[in-house]
Amino acid sequence: MSAAEAARLQTLLTALRLPTIKRLWGDIAEQSDREGWPAVRLLAALLELEVADREQRRIARHLDQAKLPVGKRLSEFDFKAIPMVSAAHVEALSSGDRWLAAGQNLLFFGPPGVGKTHLAAALGRALVENGYRVLFSRTTDMVQRLQSARQELNLPNLLEKLDRFDLLILDDLSYVEKDQAETSVLFELISTRYERRSLLITANQPFGEWNRVFPDPAMTIAAIDRLVHHATIFEMNVESYRRRQAVETNKRSRGKQEG
Ligand code: ADP
Ligand code: MG
C-alpha cells in the first residue's frame, strides 16, 4: 500500500468516525497479509474491534454522566453485615431488565451508616456497566435543580432530560426541607416517572415521617402511593457499619494490649 493510499484510508475512517479501526488497521492488515486471511475475516476482525470499543466508550460516558460516588462497588459491600438484604437479590436487580423496563422502584430505609448510599451507588454502577443509564444525586441537589428549572419555566424540559435515565437515585430523601414550593417539584418528578421510569430512594425514616417531607398530607399520601405501588423495599435496620467497625478495631487493639 502506498503512503497516499494509507492517508486516504485515514481520511475515510475519520469521516466515518471509526477511531478504533483508524488506530488499529495497520497492524491488523499486516497480520492479515502475513497469515493470508480471507477478506471477510479481516473485515469482521476490524468491525468487531470497533464495536467492542464503542461499547466501552459508551459505558465510560454513562459512568461519567451517572455522577456516582467514587469507590462504592458491590464487590466491596459486605452482605453479611446486613442479613435482610441478600446478595443474590441485589445481583438479580443489577441485571436490570424487568424492573427497569416496568418502571419499578427501589426504596432503602434505615438509620445512618448502614450502607444505604453505598448499596445504591454500587447497584447504580453495576447497572451502568450492564448498559443502563443511571443518575445519582442527593435529594436536596435534585430538588434544587428542579426548583431552579421551574423558576426559569424550564421544568418540563428538565423532566424530559431526566427521562433518558433508566434509573434516578435520590439519596437521603429525609433531608429535604419542608417547603411548599420545593417539595412539590419532587412530587412532580415522582408523578412523571410513575409506572414508566424507575426511582431508587434512600431515606432514614420510613413513611411515618414523610409528612415532614411533602407540603401537605394529601400530597404525602399520593407520593407514597405512587412510590410503593411497584416497589421493592429494603428495611436496613442494623447497627451502623462504621460504628461496628470502630468497635471491632477497638476490641482488637484492646485485645492486643491485654494479650
Ligand atoms: P448510609 O447511607 O446508610 O448512611 P453509607 O452507605 O454512607 O451509609 O455507609 C457508611 C460507610 O460504611 C461507607 O463508607 C460505606 O462504604 C460503609 N459501609 C456501610 N455498610 C457497608 C457494608 N455492608 N459493607 C461494606 N461497607 C459498608
Ligand atoms: Mg447515605
For the stretch 9-46, pLDDT in tens is 999 999 999 999 999 999 999 999 999 999 999 999 99
Number of H-type helices and E-type strands within the chain: 11, 5
pLDDT-derived band of residue 234, with 50, 70 and 90 as boundaries? very high
116 pocket-lining for ligand 1 (C-beta < 6 Å): yes
Q: What's the CA gap between 201 and 108, in Å, rounded?
A: 6
Q: What's the CA gap between 216 and 224, in Å, rounded?
A: 12
Q: Which residues surround ligand 2, an ion (CB under 5 A)?
A: 116-117
pLDDT at 242 over 90: no
Cell readout for 136 is 445519582
Which sign, positive or negative, has the C-alpha torsion 239, 139, 226, 120?
A: negative
Please give the average per-residue pLDDT across 169-193, as a whole number.
82
pLDDT at 188 over 60: yes
Q: Are 138 and 103 in contact (CB under 8 A)?
A: no
Which sign, positive or negative, has the C-alpha torsion 154, 156, 162, 168?
A: positive
**Cell 412510590 appears where?**
227
What's the pLDDT at 179?
A: 63
pLDDT at 216 over 80: yes
243 pocket-lining for ligand 1 (C-beta < 6 Å): no
Four-CA torsion 28, 34, 40, 46, nearest 10 degrees: 0
Going by C-alpha positions, the residue among 250, 253, 195, 196 that lies closest to residue 228 is 195
User: What atom in ligand 1 is closest to the CA of residue 78?
Assistant: 24
Q: What's the CA gap between 169 and 136, in Å, rounded?
A: 5
Q: What's the CA gap between 167 and 237, in Å, rounded?
A: 24
CB burial class (10 A; 0-12, 13-18, 19+) of residue 146?
buried
Secondary structure (3-state) at 141: helix
Mutation choice for ligand 1 from 241, 247, 249, CB with most ligand atoms inside 8 A:
241
Share of the chain above pLDDT 90, in %: 73
Tell me which architecture the domain covering 67-243 has in CATH: 3-Layer(aba) Sandwich (3.40)
Cell readout for 252 is 482488637
pLDDT single digits (tens) 42-85: 999 999 999 999 999 999 999 999 999 998 999 999 999 999 99
Cell readout for 210 is 414523610
Of the listed ranges 138-147, 192-201, 244-253, the one predicted with least confidence: 244-253
Its pTM stands at: 0.86
Mutation choice for ligand 1 from 70, 118, 174, 237, CB with most ligand atoms inside 8 A:
118
pLDDT at 128 over 80: yes
Cell readout for 119 is 448499596
Residue nearest ligand 1's atom 16 by CA: 118
- Phi and psi at 214, nearest 5°, equal -100, 155
Q: Are 93 and 231 in contact (CB under 8 A)?
A: no
Terminal CA-CA length for the chain? 76
What's the pLDDT at 177?
A: 65
User: What atom in ligand 1 is closest to the CA of residue 118?
Assistant: 6
What's the pLDDT at 103?
A: 95
78 pocket-lining for ligand 1 (C-beta < 6 Å): yes
Of the listed ranges 37-41, 157-161, 178-182, the one predicted with least confidence: 178-182
Domain definitions of the chain by residue range: 3-65, 67-243
What's the pLDDT at 175?
A: 66
Mean pLDDT of the residues in the chain = 91
pLDDT at 257 over 80: no
pLDDT at 180 over 80: no
Centre of ligand 1 to C-alpha 77, Å, is 8
Cell readout for 145 is 435543580
Four-CA torsion 14, 15, 20, 25, nearest 10 degrees: -80
Please give the average per-residue pLDDT across 82-90, as a whole number.
93
What's the pLDDT at 41?
A: 97
pLDDT-derived band of residue 1, with 50, 70 and 90 as boundaries? confident
Residue nearest ligand 1's atom 23 by CA: 78
Most confident of the following: 93-97, 168-172, 224-228, 242-246:
168-172
C-alpha separations of 131 from 63, 71, 101, 141 in Å: 10, 19, 13, 25
